[in-house]
């Protein structure tokens, strides 16, 4: 629900851009105070449909940037306050955050940022803080700010618990590079099954070494050439790698577990596999069907819990793209850094282990399982696979080679798992963090 003005306004009309900022405040507080996933609340916000496309894009940019830069922004706000804001003034804190984001990180007019912030505080019934908001934001607008080095900024904008984990798993230099990669708006990546070079040209995109077409400033996705005819689908460059690890799937029966929205189902179907795509959530299964229909690709979609469902007969290959904390996708979903907590890792790892056991029971002797997560946490990747290998003598790892992922040697772990990081392919704008292990059920 958007913020509706409360109380009396005297004389002046509402400043332009206030409804958009009201929605931004609602979305930001939704993440930070009500733990609501941002994509979902953006799509379903009751007032977002009233905005024109430019204002909608502004809301998106404002909230996503505020979350990407939250550590720096909070430092700036704290530097302007003599003492912390009272607890009941949470909305004031969020209004200040949005104001600082506009002044320091977006090209909004400082005057509009200050004016609308003051009005927003009044709208939330905390009008007593109008003077403070006005003074803080005017000061931020007045003071010259030296640009922060990206590595330092990356650290400042990473919650401590995540930072500590990444330093311990990857070392400080890599943790810094990961955190710095999260500062940037990610490009739009497309998987194109046919005539990739031709489509890269038509779309004005870059063809990455791994075969993904990358666009910057793409605009509305359905308006892009090739959307209606189903020539491509949106899929991060890293997300496009794991399905390839099953090798030539032409004519094979392949089970794709946890399948929606269907990027990997589409890859397998386009490569000629007979795919059974298993998805638990009906709404997401429907989205998967719609996506396949647009792409003119076929797969059998089964609505079921992958932990309980079994195929009629064992299959040659299973892809398990397990639910995870998704910390590898923070550059696209900066809210994840604030929605997830350390305890979630243990919970999702337990679910993943259960799903991997189920996958093992679906695959025929000699068949392959590719286990995938988009998490940077070793408990949901390397360590989980080690544990499963220790408990299942009928499973072996089949190491991935750099040649199979178009020479992306930096993404091959010491035991032959695929481990992409947001700082990989840095010269091209990075990629999401994915883990994939290829396992074979012994004959």
Ligand X SMILES: C[S@@+](CC[C@H](N)C(=O)[O-])C[C@H]1O[C@@H](n2cnc3c(N)ncnc32)[C@H](O)[C@@H]1O
E strands, 100-212, in order: 188-191, 206-207
The Cα-based distances of 255 to 109, 184, 311, 321 in angstroms read 53, 35, 8, 11
Among 26, 236, 279, 382, contact with ligand X (rule: CB under 6 A): 279
Stretch that binds ligand X, among 54-62, 165-173, 260-268, 431-439 (CB under 6 A): 260-268
The span from the CA of 217 to the CA of 187, in Å, is 7
Q: Applying CB under 6 A, does 417 fall inside the site for ligand X?
A: no
* Tokens found for residue 436: 């994939």
Q: Applying CB under 6 A, does 321 fall inside the site for ligand X?
A: yes
Instruction: Specify whether the backbone of 252 is left (phi greater than 0), alpha (psi in -120 to 50) or beta.
Output: beta
Q: Applying CB under 6 A, does 323 fall inside the site for ligand X?
A: yes
Q: Is 100 helix (H, G, I), strand (E, B) or coil?
A: helix
DSSP 8-state class, residue 186: P
Nearer to ligand X, 31 or 319 (CB): 319
The span from the CA of 191 to the CA of 396, in Å, is 30
Q: Applying CB under 6 A, does 264 fall inside the site for ligand X?
A: yes
Q: Applying CB under 6 A, does 2 fall inside the site for ligand X?
A: no
E strands, 205-350, in order: 206-207, 213-215, 233-234, 253-257, 274-279, 300-303, 315-321
Which residues lie across from 368 on neighbouring strands? 317, 440
Active-site residue, 148 included: no
Among 259, 271, 370, 423, contact with ligand X (rule: CB under 6 A): 259
Q: Is 18 helix (H, G, I), strand (E, B) or coil?
A: helix
Stretch that binds ligand X, among 5-13, 59-67, 259-267, 409-417 (CB under 6 A): 259-267
Q: Applying CB under 6 A, does 56 fall inside the site for ligand X?
A: no
The span from the CA of 148 to the CA of 8, in Å, is 41
Nearer to ligand X, 133 or 306 (CB): 306
Among 56, 284, 289, 397, contact with ligand X (rule: CB under 6 A): 284
Asked if residues 96 and 133 have their Cβ atoms less than 8 Å apart, the reply is: yes
Q: Applying CB under 6 A, does 306 fall inside the site for ligand X?
A: yes
Q: Applying CB under 6 A, does 432 fall inside the site for ligand X?
A: no
Of 64, 204, 82, which Cα lies nearest the Cα of 73?
A: 64
Nearer to ligand X, 58 or 371 (CB): 371
Q: Applying CB under 6 A, does 437 fall inside the site for ligand X?
A: no
Indicate the residue whose CB is closest to ligand X: 258
Among 263, 328, 334, 433, contact with ligand X (rule: CB under 6 A): 263
Q: Applying CB under 6 A, does 280 fall inside the site for ligand X?
A: yes
What is the CA 273 to chain-centroid distance, rounded? 28
Nearer to ligand X, 140 or 306 (CB): 306
Q: Applying CB under 6 A, does 67 fall inside the site for ligand X?
A: no
Nearer to ligand X, 30 or 242 (CB): 242
| Angle in degrees, 0-180, between the axes of helices 110-123 and 90-100, rounded to the nearest 10 | 170
Residues 6+ apart with CB under 8 A from 77: 93, 96, 97, 100, 136
Q: Applying CB under 6 A, does 258 fall inside the site for ligand X?
A: yes
Please state the closest distance from residue 260 (CB atom) to ligand X, in A.
4
Q: Applying CB under 6 A, does 278 fall inside the site for ligand X?
A: yes
Catalytic residue among 80, 148, 324, 374: 374
Nearer to ligand X, 30 or 263 (CB): 263
Please state the closest distance from residue 313 (CB atom) to ligand X, in A.
20
Among 201, 298, 305, 394, contact with ligand X (rule: CB under 6 A): 305
Nearer to ligand X, 94 or 321 (CB): 321
Please state the closest distance from residue 274 (CB atom) to ligand X, in A.
17
The span from the CA of 308 to the CA of 355, in Å, is 9
Which residues lie near ligand X (CB under 6 A)?
258-264, 278-281, 284, 305-307, 321, 323
- Please identify every residue annotated as catalytic: 374
């Amino acid at each position: 629900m958007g913020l509706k003005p409360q109380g009396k306004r005297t004389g002046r009309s509402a400043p332009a851009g206030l409804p958009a900022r009201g929605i931004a405040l609602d979305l930001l507080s939704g993440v930070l105070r009500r733990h609501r996933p941002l994509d979902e609340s953006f799509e379903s916000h009751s007032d977002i449909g009233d905005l024109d496309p430019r204002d909608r894009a502004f809301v998106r940019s404002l909230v996503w940037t505020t979350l990407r830069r939250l550590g720096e922004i909070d430092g700036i706000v704290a530097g302007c306050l003599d003492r912390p804001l009272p607890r009941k003034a949470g909305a004031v804190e969020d209004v200040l955050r949005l104001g600082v984001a506009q002044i320091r990180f977006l090209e909004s007019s400082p005057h509009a940022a200050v004016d609308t912030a003051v009005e927003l505080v009044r709208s939330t019934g905390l009008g007593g803080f109008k003077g403070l908001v006005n003074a803080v934001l005017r000061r931020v607008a007045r003071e010259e700010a030296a640009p922060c080095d990206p590595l330092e900024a990356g650290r400042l904008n990473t919650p401590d618990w995540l930072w500590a984990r990444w330093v311990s798993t990857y070392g400080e230099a890599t943790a810094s590079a990961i955190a710095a990669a999260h500062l940037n708006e990610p490009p739009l990546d497309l998987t194109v099954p046919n005539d990739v070079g031709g489509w890269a040209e038509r779309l004005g995109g870059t063809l990455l070494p791994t075969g993904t077409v990358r666009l910057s400033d793409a605009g509305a996705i359905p308006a892009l050439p090739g959307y209606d005819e189903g020539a491509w689908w949106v899929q991060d460059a890293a997300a496009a790698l794991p399905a390839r690890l099953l090798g030539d799937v032409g004519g094979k029966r392949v089970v794709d577990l946890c399948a929606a929205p269907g990027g990997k189902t589409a890859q397998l179907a386009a490569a000629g596999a007979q795919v059974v795509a298993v998805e638990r959530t009906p709404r997401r299964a429907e989205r998967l069907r719609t996506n396949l229909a647009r792409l003119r690709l076929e797969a059998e979609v089964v609505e079921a819990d992958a932990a309980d469902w079994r195929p009629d007969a064992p299959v040659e290959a299973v892809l398990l793209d397990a639910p995870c904390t998704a910390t590898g996708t923070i550059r696209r979903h900066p809210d994840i850094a604030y929605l997830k907590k350390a305890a979630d890792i243990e919970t999702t790892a337990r679910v993943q282990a259960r799903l991997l056991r189920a996958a093992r029971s679906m695959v025929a002797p000699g068949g392959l399982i590719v286990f995938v997560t988009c998490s940077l946490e070793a408990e949901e990747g390397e360590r989980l696979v080690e544990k499963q290998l220790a408990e299942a003598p009928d499973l072996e790892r089949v190491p991935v080679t750099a040649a199979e992922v178009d020479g992306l040697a930096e993404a091959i772990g010491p035991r032959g798992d695929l481990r992409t990081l947001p700082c990989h392919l840095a010269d091209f704008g990075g990629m999401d963090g994915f883990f994939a292990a290829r396992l074979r059920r012994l004959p």
